[in-house]
Amino acid sequence: MYIMKKNTMKLTKNGTFNLVYAIEYQDTDDRYDQFFYIYNTIFRNVPLKFLNKLNNSEFKAKVKAFCDKNYTEKAANATGNSKVEIITGDEYYITYADEFGTDTVGNDNSLFNDYGQLVNGRQFFKYDFEPDLTNQYTYKNLNKRNTYMKGLN
């Protein structure tokens, strides 16, 4: 388990980090047997002053054990592997504009990765230390109907 040292962490969006629980799945439709994680945020926008407390291997092991014991998994492609990790604000809040550039997508502030940033109801979510930061972002297709589905109902 990797331990991030406080002095090696670059300053992130508003000087925060995020503690997440990740469950590994296998993409059985892919001929190369690709694996991917689905994330559940536990603590969001945590101030850097808590880094030493939350980035402790014993603390992470306890959180992982609790989540593993209490997570209800129904998907057949779950591998049984999981992890607890810290994701910096710069990675957690990558937008489509950050990823592809404003020349390609304009000023699209939709979140590129899904770590559970905008969902407080996911299992194990405890607290958002700075909800105003979270509210600046959107999901690209959150609560929007797909255009190809319009004529079906």
pLDDT tens readout for residues 40-66: 899 989 999 999 999 999 999 999 999
Q: How many domains does the chain have?
A: 1
Kindly state whether residue 46 falls inside one of the protein's structural domains: yes
Q: Is 45 helix (H, G, I), strand (E, B) or coil?
A: strand
122-138 pLDDT, tens digit per residue, is 678 888 888 888 777 76
Count how many Cα atoms sit within 13 Å of the Cα of residue 16 in the half-sphere of its side chain. Answer: 19
What SS3 class is residue 99? helix
Question: Which one has a higher pLDDT value, 7 or 85?
Answer: 85
Confirm whether 25 is domain-assigned.
yes
In a domain, 84, yes or no: yes
Q: What pTM, to 2 d.p., does this model score? A: 0.74
- Domain assignment of residue 122, given as a range: 11-91+112-130
Residues 5 and 9: their CA atoms lie apart, in Å, by 7
**Whole-number percent of the chain with pLDDT over 70:** 73
In a domain, residue 148? The reply is no
Total length of the chain: 153
Angstrom CA distances, 23 to 17, 28, 38, 67, 151, stand at 19, 16, 5, 10, 36
Give tens-digit pLDDT for 80-133. Answer: 899 999 998 888 888 778 788 877 877 777 777 777 666 656 678 888 888 888
49 lies in some domain: yes
Q: How many Cβ atoms from other residues are within 10 Å of residue 49's Cβ?
A: 9
